[in-house]
Each structure stands twice: as structure tokens, then as C-alpha cells.
Structure 1
Amino acid sequence: MAPPTPAAPVQNTPATLLHRALVRLAYFAFWSFFRTVRVLNEHNLPPTGAVILASTHHNSALDPTTLSTTYPSNRWFHYWAKSGLFANPALKWIMLNAGNIPVDRGNKDKRKLFLPTFDVLQKGDAVAVFPEGTSYTEPSIVQVKDGAAWCALEYTAMALDAARAGTTKPYPPVVIVPASVVYTNKSKYRSAVILQFAKPIHMDPYIAAYTSPSEGAGRAATKALTHRLQRALIRMSVNAPDWETLSAARMAREILWVDERTIPLDEFTVISQTLVDLFTPPYPNPQTELVKARLLTYYALLQESRLTHEVLSSLPLPRTLDPRRPTPVPSRISTLLLLVRDSIASAIRLPFFLLPLLVHLPVYALGKYVQGMIVDEEEIAQGKVFLGLFLLMGTYSLMFLALWVLLWLSPIGALIAAAVTWAFAVYHVQLVDDNYSSMKHLVAAWRVLLGVWAPQSWDVALNSLQLSARPDKPENQYLKKKKPAAPEPSIVIPVPADGPNSNPGSPASEPETTPSKPAPFKRKKRLPSRRLVRHVLRHRVLACQALFKFLDELARTDGRVTASAHLARVYGFDAQADPDAKPNGWRSGREVVTFLRANGAGVGLVRRKEEWGVGPSEGEETQEEGEGSLSS
């Protein structure tokens, strides 16, 4: 029996003044930190009626901020919160008016547990939940709990009971809308956000089993609905079996799309998952492990030296970058002259940004300090955003007051001061992208120059480079995990003289009952970048050559490539339809390379002998020792 449908749609409750003010403040902070937010498939969102929005949750306070500030129909979201937060009357008033719903997790009676949520749904409002239970940083979705499914099914069952009892109180039918919040780099300033919605999940296929008197039928129906929700969340997010695979895919993406702003955000998740699948066992060919090791080594050295591939690709670098022999003097002089030219060009445009830079310098300094204090933690963006927001509120308040005083504290002066302050904030955001990129370029250029010009005795010895060549694994403070049965294998640099070494991946994390203790914040000691520059530049050549050779081989041989089940169904071949395929499914190598090229992979590279952009220069041979040339 389907739940009753009211004759007229229930109108959404308007947001309170406090809620609108908080969302506006959050929007201002969000807009200042992130470059852009792309919303996909917004047509899947019902503009009215009872909705449970179930979203991924991998960036703490920024995930609800993303949902509240970018929801297309501007509906008022209600978020679940621990009932203990509502004990204080003043805090209770703030929490309720900010759109939060008390949830007593210790209550075993599901109807009493979700009663405040049912009141919201009966009004035709929207509830936003995070079914993973907590915010965490892992390479994949490792847990989706049953709360959203229990709530939706219990509400529908209550509506059926009300219909049988003949009540006239409307119960608008509820749907669950899966959503994902994907960050191109969730801790990076001026990165991008993708918010995607899947088709609504209706309760009709599950409610009969849920209300069945058969033992275990209700729980089975709830689990079936949760699994469907989990599959939808996986399809809209990036999932890797371990951190090594995810880091290798990130590095490959940075090489193929040198300027991250050129990667199409509509396809960002699919592109990233495709690259993850390329480095997920079973591998398409025996060389995949070597390519993965090259990418991981380069990725780790970039992290350690505080350089980026995008910046290095824009620099006039010498061709021979082997740390075991000195760089030719003409190349040094040429590099110096070009860097001086770039420095002068940056200095010329700096005056236009100097005043906003000085005003916002405390915010930048605080963000840098916070990042330096936290080790291996990716979920630091919310700290930067909200600490920056408080500083900016103080900064702009002082600016407004100073201007108002200069204008004799008149009413018109207040309007002018407010307009000038707002225009100044907009001016800063409009200029920050190009100038921020230019400053990073300039700092990296002089780091590289110092490293290239420095005596070779400053370089880290190859046999001492292992610690710097391990990618950081973000610290996961609150996710419940099992203790590993055996220590994870470490990454070994493929030292050319001794031949390549493999890098087996580590198993994915699994949920457990005992939470890990939060690690204390501490500074991470890094090697000076000048001691790593030659190694970074050389391993850049090795990583690029290995990746492009690997992709060319895939396109030429057109072998099978492991693919996630949902990508196999769209772009390749479903495992269920092909008994010889692996469990997940597969795609053809040529189709994968064509897909990457069609979305701009390698477009920004200068081509020489090889189409992808890295190949031997005339008169040189590409050796495993890495004495190749690099097209920048």
C-alpha cells in the first residue's frame, strides 16, 4: 500500500532571520576561499515537499556550508544534531532557529528518536543528513549507516498508520536524494567544489517489506535501501583502494592537466575515478607498478619541497636535470635571466594588488600558520575558512568605521563607507587568483634557482632520499578503524642504478568499534627545498615519461583496463554481462585514453617527438637513468 498523497503540495517553511544571516556569513567565507562551485543535476531536487538529502561528508563543517549556500531552490535545510546540545535554553534557541533538529542517539524507539524530524517532514521541509556518521578523510567511502533509511521508512510507515486511522493530517511522501560534495583539493586555497545530486529514491519498493510482520523483513528492507544509497554515493565520488593508488591518480591528473582550471568540472569525478582505476589491481600491464612508483615518488618530493607540478611546468628549466652531474653554466645563466624577467613582470603588477595584500596579510599568515601546525591532515580548510571569516569581519568592520569617521559619522557617510568596504572585498577576490598564482610562481622560481645553483654537496644523497619520497597519509582522527594485521609496505624510490622497485598497495580501511585517539597537532619538520630541487626536477622527467609511455601503450595495445562497476556500465562492459571479466568490470585501453584526451588531457603540453609531450630530444636517448628532456 502506498502512502497517501495530499491533495495540495505542502509549502516549504520560510527560513528564520538567524538562519538567513548565518547562511549569508557562510556564503561570504566560502566565496572568499573557493574559486568556484559547480552544481550538477539540480533537476533531481524536488523544489517542494518532504526531502531527506543524504550527502557525503569528507570536509567537516564545509560540507553543510556547501549544501546551505548552493542549494538551487534556496530551501531551508534542517540538520541533525546531538540532543545534548539543546540542553541549555539559550543554545537551544540558537540551534533550533539555525535549522538544527535534536536527535537522541540513545533512544531505541525509532519513532521517538525521529519525532522532531517527522515534524519537519510533515511541513514539507528538507532535512540534510550525512549517512557516513562522521566527517573523515579516507581514500574511499568506508561506511554508510542506516539512519537515513530508517528515518524515511519509519516516516512512511507512520503515514500508512495515520491513513488507516482516518486522520486528515497531511503526510507528504518523502524521498531520499543522494548528494556528493567533491573538492578538487579540499585543503587548497582557491580550489573548486563540485556538488552533485542523484535521482530521488522513493519508498514504494521498500515499504511493503519494511512493514511486513515477517521476522527480519524490516531490517532487510532498511539494509537494501542503505545499500542503494551507498551505491549512489559511490557513483558520485572518487574511491580508491588505498592512499598510494589515490596519490598516484592525483599526480597523473596534475601532469595531464597542468593548469587545474582547465579540467572540466562536470567530468572531474569521472576523470579522477578513471585514473584511480588505471592504478587499481589487477593492472592492465606489468609496467603499471613501475609507473605508479614513479608518480608516487614525484608526488612525495613535491609535497616535501613545497613545489607544485603546475608551477614547475611554467618555469624555464634546463633540459638535463640529473643530480649526479652539474647543470651546464649557460643553462644556469639563461634560467637566471628568465627568472629575473618574471620577477620584474610580477613586481610591475604588484602595486595593483599591494593594498588588498597588506589588508588581508593577517588572514594569509594565519592560514599558513595553521597549516604548518597540523601534520598529515587534509580537513583543515574549515579552519582556514572560519578563522579567516572572523579576521575578515574584524578587518572590514574597522575599515568601515574608519571610513565612516572620515565622513563625519553621517548617514550618507555610512552608506558610502559600506559600499566602499564591499567593493574593496569584491576587488580583492577578483584579483586574488592571478596574483596568488603569480606569487606562488615567483617563490617557486627562486627556490628552483637556488637549488640548481647550489653546490651539489647540498643535495640529499640518493640513499637518504627514502623518507622524503613517501607521500603523506592524511591523519584520520575520528573514523573507527581496525588495527592493521601487518605493517603497510613503504614506498621505495626506483633508484635507476639498482633497477625499479615495486610498490604494493595497502588494504583499504574497514569500519570497527574502537575509535582511534586524536593525534596532537604538531609541526612537521621538512628538509630545505634547496636540497631536494635537483631530485624533484629529475623525478619530474621520470614520472612524465613513464605516464605518457604507459598511456601510449594502452592506446596501442587496446587491452582491458579495470573499471569501477558504474563506469564499466557506462563506458565499457558490465562484469555481470561478461563472465570472463573481473568482478568490477572493465573498459578498453583505447577508449580510456580517448576519453581522457577528449576531456583535455595533455592539451597544454608542448609536443616534440611523442604526442603526449615528453620524449627524447634530438641526439639524446631516453634512459632508465632519467637523462631525458622535458617539454615544459
Structure 2
Amino acid sequence: MDNLVLHRVIRRMAKLALAGFYSEIRVIGEENVPRDGPLIIVSTHHNMMIDPSVLSSTFPHKRPLHYWAKSGLFVNPVAGYILKSAGNIPVDRKSKDNKVLFKGTFDCLAGNQAVALFPEGTSYTECRIMQVKDGASYAALEYTKWIGQNENKSTKPPTVVVAGITYTNKSKYRSRVAVEFGPPISVERYMEQFMSEKEGESRAAAKRLTRDIEQLMIELTINAKDWETLFAARIARELLWESSPLDLDAFVSASQTLVDLFSTPDMGPDFENMKLQLLAYDSLLESSRFTNSDLAALKLPSALDPRRTITVPSRLWTLLTLLRDTVATFFWLPLFIFPLLIHLPVYITGRVGGKFAENEEETQAQNKIVLGFLLTLNIYSTLFLGLWWLFSFSITGGILAFTSIWGLSLYHRKIIDENYSRIKRMIAAWRVLVGVWIPSRWDMSLPSLKPYTTPFIPPVSPWIGRVNPADLKAEEAAFNAKRKRPRGPPSRRLVRHVLNARLNAAQALGAVLRDIEKSGLNVRASSHLARQFGGKVEERDIYEENGSKDGVLSLREPSGWRAAKEVVAFLREKGAKIGALEEIPDNDWAVVSSDGEGEAEEQDDKKEDVVWVQNHT
């Protein structure tokens, strides 16, 4: 522990940086992590250096984590000391002898320390767990074999604990994070097979352990068969929990339930149409830079309804009222403007940093957090020196300056969430107001709208060990099409389309959930959720090996079923407002023409336009 000074400093700094970007980081399953003894943590890895930062800063019992690093980096004595002080251990990747390969790991575990590994081998953005390699399994099994051969009674076999890190939106400012630790895995039940002299048995034992690790990684995260299913489940979740965010304790299970539901085949035309409506709405939100939560919070005054006969002075008075509320938003807390201006360069820098990795989502948060944190340190240091200078560099002045800067940081963090949301809602209200009041002929035509109602499929990560060639070709084609897509139109030309899509998606989702609740059908379910909620599990091997040298495994489709009635009841229990989907009025003035046309002929044209969008998305 005395040699981990730098690790503790970095862990503290990471905790501060993460708290400034994410609004909440929830730790679940802390009781599954032993307080002492040799420990191997295997974690999901989908957000670059943010993942080890989250894992280390939230790890239960404040146990330090040791990460693998190339042994060549430790050759220089100074670099070696820094790396070891930061908690890194050397790994000789070129060695074919596992005892040499894992020597640093053995030394660490022999000292009853914790080693953290990312068995996926790299950070990537995909709709599911794509690969899990055998390195963690071999490290655990070889160490257990080593202590048995050396009769080392000062330590015991390591415990393997799987961690799933789930981001509500990993690259979005003030989003949330759930870190869940699964039940511990005992290595000893694999040792008899691993120690067998029969050819291939040791490799088979490592594969068994890898499969169990992968299964837990899947259970602790959200996995979909394709991006469209994941996107449909995401926007459905936002519609069902738009009045209050889904609790992080239930975020993974509720999200996976929706993913499984939308993976159910042969559910009929209404079900397929509902998925298309959800995807169209999700894509339009992305193109228009609106969010569903902002639209749900809008309370535009009825006096602005262009269909009503209201005098011009009344309309002007309402507009003045909205203007007054806008001004009040900025000055609701007098001191908010000051910390906002102080931190404005940080926000701008973070936004620019995200643009540098526009097509690599797993890198965006890293750029935003690192650049933002470094700039924040510079700003705070400058303010501290300025205040200290005012106090003539006295000891008392230094204490007062430090206390003032620390208080400013705490105050800004405390008020940012509410004010950030209020400003976003205010901006959204004005954007919607402009969009519904401009002449309808300025709206984007339906044929030209098609590219913006099609979901963007992220590019395949080149670091994934094995990808189906057909999927790779299709996803690369989709990515190239995205790169050639023209720049999105001004949001004012999309406002009515977005509001119509929101209305259609909400009503379609509500109708489908009510229908399947009464149907008595069974719907698809991941095997662990089917077991947990009394469903059925197909008895088959859900894994398939590819025979590759890297020992990568892949998972097939969901292998269980749950009763549709039970699924809907589960969603309601977790806070889903299914009935609220009916409360979105189908005659909301914001989705009609701004010129006040209400003739039946135009309404029929609008219905035909909606049908056209449904048939072409």
C-alpha cells in the first residue's frame, strides 16, 4: 500500500472529474466483493479510460486495483516506479510460458491484492457483448495451480468477480452510470479439469470459466441482436419513464426486458409498425437535436394556439410572459450566472473535444472529461493565485482562497443539474415556438425527410476480434451512407415532424403494450430474466465457438420466454407510465399547421403524409 501513492492520487482526481461530468454513479452488488484476499475483477469495457476510472473510484471497500501493462514499459526505472505506484503490473505478452506471462499478476495476488482486467481486450461500441477472451481465466487458473504446486499457505485461490458498467448515455453530459458487481465465482470447481493431463482438458476448463464470465457480463449489461432493436428499446424507455428517470437499480433489467420484447418474432403488423414509429421518432430527435425529456416538459400556453380566435394583444402578452420566464430562468439564482461564466470555457472545450471523436462514441466522453478537467484545474489554480495575491500571499489568505474556490466548485456542482435542465427546456420551448409558428410551407417535405427518419448505425470497431463478414459489410455500408448524408436542416423545419413522430410513437407503443397484456402470449426473454421471473428457458447450449486462436466466444439470440402479461406488470412495477401514453392529445395544437388551417381536406393530406412516412421508414 505504501507504494501506491500515485494510484490513490489518480483515483481521487478521477472521482472528482467523473462527478463533474456524470450526475450520478450508482454502485450495485457491493456485498459481492470480498473485503480481503486475492481478487480478480473482470469488467466490461466500452468507454475507453473512463471505465478504469469509474471502476477504481467506486470500487467497494476502497481496495486499490492493479491493471495490466506491457512489461516493456517497466524497463526504465523511473517509468517503472511511476507505473507501479499508479497500480499497474507488468505482463510479458510475448512469452508463451504462462508463469512468465503472469508473474506480475502472481506477485500481486500473493500479496492478497486485487487485479482488474478487461477480458474483451479493447474498448468498443456495439449493441451487445461481442467478444470475451481467455486471459482472465488463465490468470485465475494458473495462479491457483501455482499456489498448489508451491504449497503456498499464506494465500488462497483467487475469487473472480464480474463487473458490468452501464451508462445511460456514456458520452452525454450529466448522464448517469450504474456499476454492478455479480456474484463471486469460485475458481476451485474448474481446477480438476484444468489439472488433468488429458490433452485439451486444461484449455476446456479455461473455456468453461470464460463462458461463465461472459454469461455474467451479459446479465449485468444490456445486449441486443442489432442496433435497430436497441434504439427502439431506448426511445421506448424514454417515453415510458419521461416523467421521472428510471431508477439505476432497475435500469439494466428494465432496458433488457424492452430489448427482449422487441426481439420477439411474428408479433403482427401493429407490433412492427410500432417499432418503425419508435425508430423514426428516435432518428428525428437526433437530427433535430431535441430530446424527448425536453419535449415532454414543454407547457406552451394555450393562448399561442394559432387555431383559436384570440386577439393580437393577447398573443403578444403571452409572448411577453414567455420572454419574462426566459429571463427569470437565467436569473433564478443570482449567483448561478457567475459560476456559469467561470465554467463556460470548460463546457465549450468539452464540446469541441467530443467533436474530435464524432464517429467514435467510446472516445467522446474521454475527450470531454479529460480536457474539461484539465481546463478546470487551470481555471481554479488561476483563481486561487489571484485571490491569494489579494490576500498578500499570507497563510490565512491562502486558506481563505482555497476555501472560496472549493466552495465555488461544490456550489456549481449542486446547482448545475437543475439549472442545466431548466435552460435546455427554455431553449427547446423557443425552438418549438418558432417551428410551429413559421408558415407550414417552410417545413421540410416528406420525401426529403426520409434520411432523417432512418437510424444511424455506428461503424464496426476494427479492434473486435471476430465479426460476421456479412454484418461487417452491411454496417460499413450504413456508416458510409451516414458520412455522405447532407447536413441536417435547421431544426425549425423539423419541429412539426418531430412532434408528429412523438405523438405516433407514443400512441403506437401504448396500444401495443395494452394489446399484448391482454393477449396471453409469451415474448422473448434473456435466459437469466426468464429464470428470474418464472418464464421458460430453452435447454440448449447458447454459446458457439469459432475455433479462433484467441479463444473468442459469441452468444446467440435470447433463449427464454416470459408471459407478456408479466412483462407489462414488471414494467409498471418499475415505474413505467403506460397509461400516460394515452394522455398525449392527438389534437395538440403544436402538431398542426401554424397558419391555422383546420379544414378536413388538409387534415386528410396530413394523414396521407403520415402513412407515407410509416411505409418508407
* TM-score, reference length from structure 1: 0.84
Provide the secondary structure at the position in 2 that maps to 1:471: coil
- What is the alpha-carbon distance in structure 2 between the residues aligned to residue 372 and residue 328 of structure 1? 42
2:563 matched to 1:575? no
Q: Give the Å deviation of 1:425.
A: 0.3
CA distance in 1, matches of 2:294, 2:307: 22
Query: Taking structure 1 as reference, are residues 15 and 555 closer, same or farther at Cα in structure 2, changes over 3 Å only?
Result: farther
Corresponding residue for 1:493?
A: none
* Residue 126 (structure 1) aligned to one of 111, 114, 131: 114
Structure 2 counterpart of 1:8? none
Counterparts of 1:375-390 in structure 2, within 5 Å, are 375-379=358-362, 380-390=364-374
Query: Is residue 272 of structure 2 the alignment partner of residue 289 of structure 1?
Result: yes
1-side partners of 2:463 and 2:583: how far apart? 42
Whichever residue aligns with residue 440 of structure 2, its letter is Q
Equivalent residues of 1:40, 1:197 under 8 A apart: yes
Question: Distance in 1 between the 2:539 and 2:459 partners?
Answer: 40
- Provide structure 2 residue ranges, at least 5 long, that are not aligned to the other structure: 541-556, 589-597, 612-617
Question: Structure 1 residues 484, 294: CA separation in 2 closer, same or farther (over 3 Å shift)?
Answer: farther
CA shift for structure 1 position 171: 3.1
Whether the 8 Å CA contact 2:524–2:558 is kept in 1: the answer is: no
1:92 paired residue number = 80
Offset of 1:46 from its aligned partner? 0.5
Corresponding residue of 1:613 = 583
Distance apart, 1:26 and its partner CA: 0.8
Aligned AA (2:254): I
CA displacement at 1:558 relative to structure 2: 2.7
Alignment partner of 1:131: what SS? coil
* Aligned AA (1:215): E
Residues 354, 365 of structure 2: 8 Å contact kept:
no
Distance 1:560 1:178 in 2: 31
1:151 and 2:136 aligned: no
Aligned residue runs from structure 1 range 463-612, under 5 A:
463-480=447-464, 481-482=466-467, 484-485=469-470, 525-576=487-538, 584-602=559-577, 612=582
Is this contact kept in 1: 2:3–2:84, CA < 8 A?
A: no
- Which residue pairs with 2:185 in the alignment? 201
Shift of 1:351: 2.9
Letter in 1 for 2:495: V
Matched position secondary structure for 1:465:
helix
2:65 to 74, 77, 94: 77
CA distance in 1 between counterparts of 2:309 and 2:5 reads 66
Distance 1:462 1:330 in 2: 30
1:246 aligns with 2:239: no
Seen in structure 2, the aligned counterparts of structure 1 residues 141 and 363 have a Cα distance that, compared at 3 Å, is same
The answer (yes or no) to whether the contact 1:14–1:76 under 8 Å persists in 2 is: no
- The yes-or-no answer on 1:432 pairing with 2:416 is yes
- Answer whether contact 1:179 1:195 (CA < 8 A) is retained: yes
2: CA distance, partners of 1:337 / 1:313: 23
How many residues are paired up? 574
Asked whether 1:187 is paired with 2:171, we answer yes
| Pair 566,381 (structure 1): closer, same or farther in 2 beyond 3 Å | same
Counterpart check, 1:67 vs 2:52: no
Paired position in structure 2 for 1:50: 38
CA displacement at 1:576 relative to structure 2: 3.6
Sequence identity (%): 44
**What does 1:304-323 align with in structure 2 at a 5 Å threshold?**
304-316=287-299
Amino acid at match of 2:563: S
Corresponding residue number in structure 2 for 1:9? none
CA RMSD, 1 decimal: 3.2
1:107 deviation in Å? Answer: 1.4
* Residue among 324, 327, 332 paired with 1:349: 332
Deviation at 1:317, TM superposition (A): 5.0
Per the alignment, do residues 586 and 523 of structure 1 end up closer, same or farther by CA in structure 2, a change over 3 Å counting?
Answer: closer
SS at match of 1:362: helix
Structure 2: how far apart are the matches of 1:276 and 1:411? 59
Q: 1:118 to 1:537 in 2, by over 3 A?
A: same
Amino acid in the other structure paired with 1:387: L
Amino acid at match of 2:141: L
1:329 and 1:282 map into 2 onto residues whose CA distance is: 46
Alpha-carbon offset, residue 330 of structure 1: 5.9
Task: Please state whether the residue corresponding to 1:602 is helix, strand or coil.
Answer: coil
Please point out which of 400, 405, 419 is paired with 2:389.
Answer: 405
Contact 1:542 1:626 in 2 (8 A): no
Secondary structure of 1:349's aligned partner: coil
Distance 1:106 1:221, change over 3 A: same
SS at match of 1:287: helix
Tell me if the contact between 2:527 and 2:559 (Cα under 8 Å) persists in the aligned partners.
yes
Matched residue type, 1:295: L
Q: Aligned equivalents of 2:491 and 2:236: distance in 1?
A: 22
Gapped regions of structure 1 (runs ≥ 5): 1-12, 490-505, 510-515
Change (3 A) 1:627 1:225: closer
Distance in 2 (CA, whole Å) between partners of 1:40 and 1:482 is 32
Task: Report the CA distance between 1:104 and its aligned residue.
Answer: 2.1
Deviations along 1:256-279, whole A, 9 cap, x unmatched?
1114x5311111000100111111
Mapped partners of 1:376, 1:436: distance in 2: 26
Describe the shift of the 1:572–1:527 C-alpha distance in structure 2 as closer, same or farther (beyond 3 A).
farther
Is the 2:264–2:524 Cα contact (8 Å) retained in structure 1? yes
- Counterpart secondary structure, 1:363: helix
- Counterpart of 2:93 (choices 102, 105, 120) is 105
Instruction: Encode CA deviations 1:363-413: one digit per residue, 9 max, x unaligned.
Output: 101122233444343221111111111000100001110111111100111
- Aligned residue for 1:485, secondary structure, equals helix
Residue 41 (structure 1) shift: 1.0
1:574 partner amino acid:
K
Name the SS of the counterpart of 1:79 in structure 2: strand
Greater shift in the superposed pair: 308-317 or 114-123: 308-317
Equivalent residue letter for 2:93: R
Cα distance change of structure 1 residues 291 and 341 upon mapping to structure 2, 3 Å threshold: farther
Partner residue of 2:26?
Answer: 38
- Displacement of 1:624: 6.0
The one-letter code of the counterpart of 1:543 is: A
TM-score, with normalisation over the residues of structure 2?
0.86
